[in-house]
Structure 1
Amino acid sequence: MFDTPAQAHQVIEERFAPNMVEMVAGALRPAIVFSAKNDDKLGGSRIGGTPDLPKVIEWPRRPVPDDVDEIAKRAGEPFDADLRQHLAAGLPYAFIAQVNLGEAAGLGDVAKSLPDAGRLLFFYDMIAGPFDTGEQSAKVIWDRSPTDALAHADMPDSLVTAASAYRTMIDDTNRQYGIQPDARPAGTPLPGTPYGGPSRPMALKAALQLPSFSSLEFEATGRLVTTYSADRAVIGGAQAFSQAYDALSGEADRETLLLGAPVPEQDDPRYDAVVVSDYNTQSLSREDWAKNRTKVMETAKDWRLLLQLSVPGWMQDSGEGTVYFLIRDKDLQDRAFERVVAVYQQT
């Protein structure tokens, strides 16, 4: 990520041949990143912890799905039994992040697609979500309540109980296998669990990013795609250009990203959003993908990244994967945040 166009241009000049600089710089895109701060204001931007809610909004709870058994089977034995039990419990979602929209609006055009007042509250089922791409695993709320109507919400008792049981299970497993947990500096808050992450107040900052070669934004760069692909195709060559591009675009902070281009761990997560939304399935067979690839890739252009979150970053502990909250352009314009689709990826 780069703070300014001048900074981006300087770094690009240092890493690429002169005739490649403008081509690479032309791929830069605006995004919003999060940076830690000390003061945690009511209604401010935050990752983890608990949301600030008015009395009229309850912490959302995941409805018990109609297809519990089908979702549980995706985890495979012996994990399917635990997943089935989790889904049947209908627990509240884990709280992911709170975004102060007034703060975002103050960054200018980079946030123009978002509402300019209130807060976006992001929730996710971190247990079942990796096995259940779609709308069911996530909840995004646009809260427009005045700040003086807010209060720091307490984590629901059922999530507190689940988090405690999870920590006990981890401790028992570590003892069984003689694993010593990593030492943590004094005063460091407890790491999170799939039911909640430590509270980290955040400031929003406008930035520029180079899109990952796996993203739709990269595919739309024309000459850059051609140059990158030709370089990758060289057998036995240094592949200097593609390696330099991957190194620079890979320096983008994957931990948390608002808007911008997703940084995929696999393919662009918007393909998954299209498949689950338009084809009513978690994935397409190889034959069906080949048949529908062009349509899926074209339809994916109607979707955009709303929020991207690293699971280890959110938990402040060991973990895997990235969660992408995705929304159609039309739904974002209509403020239909209830139609957000969550996609989980891990390498």
Structure 2
Amino acid sequence: MPEPLPRTHEEFRSSLAASSLPRPLVDRLVAQARPALLLVTQAAEDSAIPLGASKLGGWPDLPADTEWPRRGPYADAARRAGLHREAASRLLADARRPGSWISLEDAQRFHREYMAKADSVETTFPLSFISQLDLAALAREKGFDPAFPSEGRLLLFYDFWERPEEFVPESSAGWQLIWDRSPIEGLVRTRIPPALQAIASDETCCVFRPARIDARTVITPMPVNDRNWDAFPLEDAQLLDTYKDWLEHFGTPDVPEGENQQLGGFPRPLQNGLQSRNQLAANGLNCGSSEVWQTDAAKKLLESAGDWQLVLQFGVDENAGIPAPGACYVMMRVQDIAARRFDLARVAYQCD
């Protein structure tokens, strides 16, 4: 089971010092560390969670005149639909081969799911409700990032069924991060749309159980793949291995026993390039191929990739029913957070 993240800078320093890293390096890593709020969940009925309170899953609290957030067809819907239909056909073909790894019954079930997903990316479709955060309540915690607003609620809706690739510019249709400052008395607990409920199942996870959120301050370490890393040269294999071994004690947000939900601080990414891919895709570059990274346009954009920081991390959660594999990272540029441009957020799904 992963160790809990340090609760204070003193705990952080003590833990690092025990790793045998040199004292000056420990000082630098402590100075770089960022406070964050660990979002601890507890299963609860929606009726037991106050209107406007922080939670994962369930029914969101929206202004009475607000429709459930939906995305339009993806701009690259033809590509997405083609991939899903190809996968559906391939599964049926595999099932009909002698000694197949998959039964015909399972292949037919997955075929229906892939075909339904292909249809959905070409049409308007409701987004899954992920989380609702009461910023005024969370702002009272020490680990709350003062760069975030301290009023209203931050709501995340995401196409969890499709889980669009963050390195594709067109993926931005697949999420909405909403800062809502409506008075609580004007909120309504909004029912899940029938189109979303109709596809919800153990295999098709897109509707999540309600889970109450309690916040706790933690101190988060900078990952070595952060664009602002300067603690030591990454070519120093001994220091790198020692630091990575220390980081591994805290686990990653894709395991059931971990501390997976987080507001602010440094992320615990499952892959490299979290900031860089968001920077390129946000500026219209599909960076799914290596050639793009070598262009002058990409190199220029990457100079400011370090402006991207974590807003919200959510991973596996047994209370809300958010399944493995993988985790999601809601990222924004520091200047967009300051300008309250939550419409410019990007969501990166990573799977190890």
- The question of a shared fold, defined as TM-score above 0.5 by the shorter chain, is answered with yes
CA RMSD, Structure 1 to Structure 2 (Å): 2.7
Are 1:137 and 2:142 matched, yes or no?
A: no
Secondary structure, in 3 states, of the residue corresponding to 1:33?
strand
Alpha carbons of 1:149 and 1:111: their partners in 2 closer, same or farther (altered >3 Å)?
same
Residue 60 of structure 1: aligned partner: 69
Of residues 321, 326, 330 in structure 1, which corresponds to 2:331? Answer: 326
Are 1:125 and 2:159 matched, yes or no?
A: yes
Q: Give me the whole-angstrom Cα distance separating, in 2, the residues matched to 1:246 and 1:109.
A: 20
Residue 25 of structure 1: aligned partner: 30
Residue 212 of structure 1: aligned partner: 223
Q: Give me the whole-angstrom Cα distance separating, in 2, the residues matched to 1:198 and 1:152.
A: 14
Letter in 2 for 1:68: A
Task: Spell out structure 1 runs of 4+ moving beyond 6 A.
Answer: none
Are 1:161 and 2:166 matched, yes or no?
A: no
Letter in 1 for 2:162: A
Deviation at 1:92, TM superposition (A): 0.8
**8 Å contact kept, 1:266–1:346:** yes
Higher helix share: 1
Alpha carbons of 1:74 and 1:112: their partners in 2 closer, same or farther (altered >3 Å)?
farther
Alpha carbons of 1:302 and 1:127: their partners in 2 closer, same or farther (altered >3 Å)?
same
Deviation at 1:251, TM superposition (A): 6.7
Residue 225 of structure 1: aligned partner: 232
Of residues 38, 44, 48 in structure 1, which corresponds to 2:53? Answer: 44
Deviation at 1:304, TM superposition (A): 1.9
Letter in 2 for 1:297: L
Q: Give me the whole-angstrom Cα distance separating, in 2, the residues matched to 1:286 and 1:195.
A: 32
Query: 1:60-209 counterparts in 2 under 5 A?
Result: 60-73=69-82, 77-79=86-88, 81-108=115-142, 110-131=144-165, 133=168, 134-163=171-200, 166-167=201-202, 170=203, 193-209=204-220
Alpha carbons of 1:49 and 1:77: their partners in 2 closer, same or farther (altered >3 Å)?
same
Deviation at 1:87, TM superposition (A): 1.4
CA offsets 1:181-231 (integer angstroms, 9 cap, x no match): xxxxxxxxxxxx5321111110222221112222234x2xx2x332x5313
* Structure 2: stretches of 5+ with no match in the other structure: 89-113
**8 Å contact kept, 1:103–1:204:** no
Secondary structure, in 3 states, of the residue corresponding to 1:304?
strand
Deviation at 1:101, TM superposition (A): 0.8
Letter in 2 for 1:61: R
Q: Give me the whole-angstrom Cα distance separating, in 2, the residues matched to 1:55 and 1:315.
A: 25
Q: Give me the whole-angstrom Cα distance separating, in 2, the residues matched to 1:58 and 1:314.
A: 27
Deviation at 1:312, TM superposition (A): 5.5
Alpha carbons of 1:131 and 1:18: their partners in 2 closer, same or farther (altered >3 Å)?
closer
Letter in 2 for 1:138: W
Q: Give me the whole-angstrom Cα distance separating, in 2, the residues matched to 1:266 and 1:313.
A: 23
**8 Å contact kept, 2:73–2:123:** yes
**8 Å contact kept, 1:122–1:139:** yes
Secondary structure, in 3 states, of the residue corresponding to 2:219?
strand
* Structure 1: stretches of 5+ with no match in the other structure: 171-192, 234-238
User: Normalising by structure 2, what TM-score?
Assistant: 0.78
User: Normalising by structure 1, what TM-score?
Assistant: 0.79
Residue 15 of structure 1: aligned partner: 19
